[in-house]
Amino acid sequence: AQSVTQLDSQVPVFEEAPVELRCNYSSSVSVYLFWYVQYPNQGLQLLLKYLSGSTLVKSINGFEAEFNKSQTSFHLRKPSVHISDTAEYFCAVSDQGTGGFKTIFGAGTRLFVKA
Amino acid sequence: DAGVTQSPTHLIKTRGQQVTLRCSPISGHKSVSWYQQVLGQGPQFIFQYYEKEERGRGNFPDRFSARQFPNYSSELNVNALLLGDSALYLCASSRDGSGANVLTFGAGSRLTVL
């Protein structure tokens, strides 16, 4: 069975500083990887995804994540954060279990950007 | 187009009661997944339905059940409620049952069990 570990529950960072949110997964089969974001008082929404091909994927608001198969990681990075990036970030993995797919989420990392 | 809609948005029940939560997927989406999100934790997978069939089940007791209707809407039922069932219940729809599809989430139904 697959699982997702987000190593940091909270990450405080100053505005314009770089940030990395760590995610490791375990699965016995090929996986698809996602980062979802939940802004304050909003629902979960997709930030970026890795399905195949280039291991580096990017979002429209400057985040990027790199799929590392050997280390079973999918860390999320941004070179310079903004106050508006304050949110909870969830790493998720899906593979094909018996009879269908299911997407499993990590516990989340709360990113708090300070002025 | 309307997004994923869930009802009710909030509800309060007492221990031992039963609850039914409803979800309407995005038009054209044929798969619905249900998640439980306890405060401070990530969403926990409960069920996935595709074309009216259960395609995945998480580690939840048999008190939890669901179904999907011909119009692809879905209901989640929880019987014999416990205090620990208090949570935000999220419904997500996707185009089909593939794990490569992005999940589009509704705003959730917040259940409080007293």
Task: Output the CA torsion sign for A46, A98, A72, A13.
Answer: positive
pLDDT at A99 over 70: no
Query: Looking at chain A, which residue has its C-alpha nearest residue B37?
Result: A107
Measured CA to CA, the distance from residue B109 to residue B87 in angstroms comes to 8
Question: What's chain B's average pLDDT?
Answer: 94
**What is the pLDDT averaged over residues B31-50?**
94
pLDDT score, position B1: 62
CB–CB contact B56 A49 (8 Å): no
* B5 has a chain A CB within 8 A of its CB: no
Name B62's Cβ contacts closer than 8 Å, sequence gap at least 6: none
CA atoms of A36 and A43, how far apart (whole Å): 10
Residue A32 and residue A43: Cα distance in Å, rounded? Answer: 21
Mean of pLDDT values over B5-28:
97
pLDDT in tens, A34-50: 999 999 888 899 999 99
Residue B32, token pair as written in the block: 């619905």
Residue B40 has pLDDT above 80, yes or no: yes
Mean pLDDT for B14-26 is 97
Say if the Cβ atoms of B105 and A43 lie within 8 Å: yes
**How confident is residue A97, by pLDDT bands cut at 50, 70 and 90?**
low
Interface check for B84 against chain A (CB to CB < 8 A): the answer is no
pLDDT at A96 over 80: no
Contacts of A4 in chain B (CB under 8 A): 42
